[in-house]
Structure 1
Amino acid sequence: MRTTLATLLCCLMPVVIATAADEPLSPYEWKQRQKVAFEHSERVYADALKRTGLLAQYKAMRDTYRTDKDGAFRIVFGQYLSWYQSFVGDYVGAHDSYSIRQLAASDDAHSPLDGGYTAKPALDEIAELAKGRKAVFFNEAHNVPVTRTLLVELLSKLRAEGYTYFAAETIYASDTELAKRGYPVEKSGFYTMEPIAAEMVRTALHLGFKVVAYESEKEGNGDVREYDQAKNLYERVFKNDPQARLVVNAGYAHIQENGKYLGGRSMAQHFAKLTGIDPLTVEQTMLIEHPAGTENHPYYQKAMESLHPTSPIVFADAAGKPWTLKPKAYDVSVFFPAQVIHDERPTWLTLGGLRTEYSFGGAACQDTFPCLIEARYANEGDDAIPADRLVLDPTGNVENTQDRVIQRHPLTKGSLYLRPGKYRITGQDVRGHALFRQDVTVGSGRPPVAVAQ
C-alpha cells in the first residue's frame, strides 16, 4: 500500500498548495518546500508504523504534528494524520487536520436555489436515479467519512433494485477470505481501517453483493493507475458476467466523466470506453461543510442557511432531472448537512437512524490514558475492524482543534454509535495492553448507557 499512499498524495497536492498562498514564496521555492515536507512526512509515517498497535501509531503521528510548526510539513503531513484520526474515530479532528477548500469556479452550474429545482432526500432520489442503470459510481473524501454514510444507507435499496457487485477503492485483492469471513480485517485494505468504510464493506457482504477489489497493482501514477482500475472492474465484473450491475465507491475525481485528470483520463472515463457503459456518477465531496479557516462553496452556505437540512439532499427539476455542480463531469451532486457535534463526535454516526448512541464511561480504562475503546460485533473475531472506535484522553494537552482528541474532565466518557445487537467492547493502552473487555447488548429502543466500573 505504500505506493498507493504516495500516489494519493501526489494526486491531491496541487489542490492543497493553494492553501499556502499566503506564504511569500515563489512557485519554485514552494515546490522545493513541498518536496522536503513530503520526504519528512514519509520518514515520520514510517517511524510511526514501527509502533505496535493503532493507538501508538496514531499518537506518534499526532505528537510530531503538534511539535513541528513548519507550514509546508503541516499541510502535507496533515493528510497522513487525518487518515489515522479517522481510523481511531476522531472525525472532527480528521476534518480539521486536512481539508480541500471548495471555491466557486467558472464551470459551476447556476445555483439550484435560483429557481427551477426542488430539494429532495438524497437517499430516495439516488435510488430512483439508479433504476435501470448498469453501474453507479459514488465518490468520497477519504478523511471525511460523512461522505461514506449515504452509500451505507443506500446499499440495501440498490441491492433490492438488482445491483449485484460492489467495489471500493483500495480493498486489497490479496484478502481472498473477505467474502467467506464476512467482515474486513486489517489486511483487507487501507481505508477500510476506518469503521464507516468497514461498515460499508460489511453491509455489502451481508446484503449478498459480490465484493470486488479493483485497485491497480501496477507501478505508476496518473493515467496508468486510472486505466488499470477501470480494466480491473471490467475483467472482474462484466467480462464474465455481462448482466452484472455494479456499485463503485472511489475517491474524489476518479469518477469524473469528462475532462483531463492527472494528464490523462479518469477511471470512470476509461471504464466507459472499455465497457460501453455510462455510469450514474454521484459527486459527494464538494458540497460538504468545511472547518473554520477554510471555505465552503457559496452554494453550500446558502443551501444550509435557507433549507436547514438534517439529512443529505439533492436537487431535481420538474422533469426529474438532477442538478449537478459540474454538469460536464458528474450526473448529480449531494449536499451533506452541517455537522452536529455531541460529546465531541458528529451525530451523522447514527447513519440515518441505523445506529444509536451508546455512552461509555472511562473508568474501565483504569486511569490509563490515552485509552482506545473498540466495539466489535459479538459474532465477529478479534481481528475484525470495529463497528466503532473512540479515544479517551482527559489528560491530553490539546493545542487547538487540529489536534483534538475526545476528552472529558473530570468525568471521562465518550459515545459509541452502534446498530442494535450484541457487541464486545474492549479497551487498550498505548502499548497495546488490554485494559478491559465487556459484552453488551444495544437495544433498538431508548439508547442504553453503559457505566464502566
Structure 2
Amino acid sequence: MTLLRTRVPLLALTASLTLGMGPPTDITEVTLLPAQIVAQADVPGMKSKLEDLASVDPVTPLPASARDSMQSMGAIQALSLFGREDLVAEQSSNYPANGCAALTGVGEVMGEITRRARQTSIVIINESHERSEHRGFTAEVAARLRPLGYSIFAAETFSNPEPGQQRFLPSFMTRPAQSYLEDGGGYYTAEAGYGRLTRRAKALGYQLLPYEITFDKVKTIKGRRDEQVAVREKEEATNLAAIIKAHPGAKLLVHVGYSHAAEVPQERGNRYMAARLKAKTGIDPLTISQTTCRGGGAERRLAALPADEPAGTFDLVVDHPSATFVRGRPTWRQRAGDRAVTIPAMLRPRSGWRVIEARPVGEPITSVPLDRVAIRAGEDVALMLPPGRYQLRAIDVPYVKPAA
C-alpha cells in the first residue's frame, strides 16, 4: 500500500491541568509532531469499524427520514465510536433530559459509591455505548475503588477468545504489562474515551479480564429474541463467577452496557447478567446505572430510581448533566483536563470523512490513540488532548453508499 505523507508545523498549546484519567505529569503543553496521511486503514482491528463510518453519508449523517431505523442506529454507533457525539445527541434517546428526582439522604456521588463499595466485593457499573462521559466516570470510580482492594476490571466489550485459542488473542492477554490497549481488543475500546479508561485501569494496577459470551457460542444460539438474550446473560454471569472462583478474595469492577447491570428481574421476567451473577455467587453487588437518568442538574448527582423501574433494579443511579459540545467535542473532556487543539488546516479533508488520530510519541499505530475523531470538509472540529507530545495520523474514509 502506498502511503501519502505530509508534514505539518509543530503546534503547542499552553495548558494548566492534567487529564484525570491518566497519571500525573509536569508537562504543561500539547505538542503535535509531523503527521502521516494514509489512504486506507492498515490496522486489522479497525477495518470493519472504518467500513461502518464509510457507510455514513457525511452530508446528512442522520437524516430524519431514517430515524429509529437500523441504518440510523448503525450510523449513531459509528459516529459515537469516532468521537462525533455532537452529531448523535439530537437524535439519540440517550441524551435528552428525562426529569428524574434527586435522591435524598445520601452523600455526594463518589463518597456514596465508595461507602457502599466497602460492603461488597463486586461493583457493576453500566454505560450508554454512545456517551463517552460514562467511560470517564467509570475511570474515576476505578481510581476510588483501587485502595479498597478492587483489583480486577472486567468489561463486556473485551474480546473473549475460546479456551485454548492462540490466534487473534487481545493485547490485554498477551501483553498485560503494556500501558495501553491495541485496536482489536474489543469493539468499544476503539473509542478514545474507552481507550483512556483502560489506560487508567492499567495504570492503577487492575488486571483486565473478559467475560463476554464467546463468538463460537454466539453462533450456536437459537430461538426467540428473549431466549437468545437469556443465553448471553447466563453465559456472562457464568464467566464472571468463574473469574471469582479462580481469584479467591479478589474484588471486581465490572463495566457493562445498559440493562446488564439490573440485579432484579425486569419486565416479562427477564433476568440480566447482574441478577444471575448474584444468584450464582451469593454476593450482593453494588449496581450503578448511568443510563437511567440524565440532565437533572448542572452537576452530576444521585437520582431516585424512577417509579416505572422494578424496585431494586439498581442500587445507585448517577444523573449526569445534559451533554454540551464545543468545536464538535463533549465539554466534559475539558473539565477533566483536556485542551481543545486545532487540527492543522492541511489535514482537513476536501470531501468525505477523514479520521484524525493522536498517539503519544513512541506508541505504534496499533495502540488505541488518546484521541480519534472523524471530521468533514469545512468543519472546525478540535482534538481533545491532555498535555503531552503526540504523533498525528490521518486516515481517509471515502463515503460508500450502502446498497439499497
Question: 3-state DSSP class of the match of 2:232?
Answer: helix
1:400-411 residue pairs with structure 2 within 5 A? 407-408=379-380
Q: 1:284 aligns with which of 283, 290, 293?
A: 290
Q: Which residue of 2 aligns with 1:23?
A: none
Q: Does 1:341 align with 2:325?
A: yes
CA–CA separation in structure 2 for the residues paired with 1:343 and 1:162: 40
Question: 3-state DSSP class of the match of 1:239?
Answer: helix
Q: Cα gap change, 1:146/1:228 in structure 2, threshold over 3 Å: closer, same or farther?
A: same
The residue type paired with residue 222 of structure 1 is V
Q: Which residue of 2 aligns with 1:234?
A: 241
CA–CA separation in structure 2 for the residues paired with 1:104 and 1:54: 31
The residue type paired with residue 349 of structure 1 is R
The residue type paired with residue 181 of structure 2 is P
Q: Does 1:421 align with 2:401?
A: no
Contact 1:281/1:332 (CA < 8 Å) preserved in 2?
Answer: yes
The residue type paired with residue 346 of structure 2 is A
1:273-312 residue pairs with structure 2 within 5 A? 273-289=279-295, 300=296, 304=297, 308-309=298-299, 312=300
The answer for unaligned runs of 5 or more in structure 2 is: 1-43, 162-169, 222-227, 400-404
Contact 1:81/1:97 (CA < 8 Å) preserved in 2?
Answer: no
CA–CA separation in structure 2 for the residues paired with 1:330 and 1:102: 21
Following superposition, the deviation at residue 345 of structure 1 comes to: 1.4
Q: Cα gap change, 1:60/1:104 in structure 2, threshold over 3 Å: closer, same or farther?
A: closer
Question: 3-state DSSP class of the match of 1:84?
Answer: helix
Q: Which deviations, in whole Å up to 9, do the C-alpha atoms of 1:40-99 show, x marking residues without a partner?
A: xxxxxxxxx9x9675554132335975977547x53222211111112110112333432
CA–CA separation in structure 1 for the residues paired with 2:279 and 2:235: 13
**TM-score, with length taken from structure 2:** 0.73
Bigger RCO of structures 1 and 2 (CA < 8 A, at least 6 apart): 2
Answer 1 or 2: which has greater helix percent: 1
CA–CA separation in structure 2 for the residues paired with 1:241 and 1:67: 46
Q: Which residue of 2 aligns with 1:392?
A: 375
The residue type paired with residue 285 of structure 2 is P
**TM-score, with length taken from structure 1:** 0.66
The answer for unaligned runs of 5 or more in structure 1 is: 1-48, 290-299, 316-322, 396-406, 409-413, 433-453
Q: Cα gap change, 1:422/1:142 in structure 2, threshold over 3 Å: closer, same or farther?
A: same
CA–CA separation in structure 1 for the residues paired with 2:256 and 2:52: 26
CA–CA separation in structure 1 for the residues paired with 2:252 and 2:274: 13
Question: 3-state DSSP class of the match of 2:150?
Answer: coil
Contact 1:195/1:386 (CA < 8 Å) preserved in 2?
Answer: yes
CA–CA separation in structure 1 for the residues paired with 2:359 and 2:97: 40
1:51-450 residue pairs with structure 2 within 5 A? 54-55=49-50, 57-62=52-57, 71=66, 74-99=68-93, 111-112=101-102, 116-117=104-105, 120-174=107-161, 175=170, 176-217=173-214, 218-219=217-218, 220=221, 221-236=228-243, 238-260=244-266, 264-289=270-295, 300=296, 304=297, 308-309=298-299, 312-314=300-302, 323-325=304-306, 326=309, 327-350=311-334, 352-353=335-336, 355-365=337-347, 368-369=350-351, 370-395=353-378, 407-408=379-380, 414-430=381-397
Q: Which deviations, in whole Å up to 9, do the C-alpha atoms of 1:301-335 show, x marking residues without a partner?
A: xxx2xxx32xx2226xxxxxxx4445421101111
CA–CA separation in structure 2 for the residues paired with 1:314 and 1:80: 31
Following superposition, the deviation at residue 146 of structure 1 comes to: 2.0
The residue type paired with residue 270 of structure 1 is R
CA–CA separation in structure 1 for the residues paired with 2:263 and 2:48: 40
Contact 1:52/1:431 (CA < 8 Å) preserved in 2?
Answer: no
Contact 2:237/2:277 (CA < 8 Å) preserved in 1?
Answer: yes
Q: Across the two proteins, how many residue pairs are aligned to each other?
A: 331
Question: 3-state DSSP class of the match of 1:196?
Answer: helix
Contact 1:375/1:386 (CA < 8 Å) preserved in 2?
Answer: yes
Following superposition, the deviation at residue 285 of structure 1 comes to: 0.3
Following superposition, the deviation at residue 246 of structure 1 comes to: 0.4
CA–CA separation in structure 2 for the residues paired with 1:379 and 1:177: 20
Q: Cα gap change, 1:266/1:377 in structure 2, threshold over 3 Å: closer, same or farther?
A: same
The residue type paired with residue 362 of structure 1 is P
Question: 3-state DSSP class of the match of 1:61?
Answer: coil
CA–CA separation in structure 2 for the residues paired with 1:239 and 1:53: 35
Contact 2:127/2:290 (CA < 8 Å) preserved in 1?
Answer: yes
Following superposition, the deviation at residue 347 of structure 1 comes to: 0.7
The residue type paired with residue 240 of structure 1 is A
**Identical columns (%):** 26
Q: Cα gap change, 1:424/1:244 in structure 2, threshold over 3 Å: closer, same or farther?
A: same
CA–CA separation in structure 2 for the residues paired with 1:85 and 1:343: 15
| Segments of 4+ moved more than 6 angstroms | 101-105
Contact 1:125/1:314 (CA < 8 Å) preserved in 2?
Answer: no
CA–CA separation in structure 2 for the residues paired with 1:261 and 1:233: 24
Contact 1:134/1:244 (CA < 8 Å) preserved in 2?
Answer: yes
The residue type paired with residue 385 of structure 2 is L
CA–CA separation in structure 1 for the residues paired with 2:393 and 2:350: 14
Q: Cα gap change, 1:213/1:100 in structure 2, threshold over 3 Å: closer, same or farther?
A: same
Structure 1, 361-370 or 225-234: larger mean CA deviation: 361-370
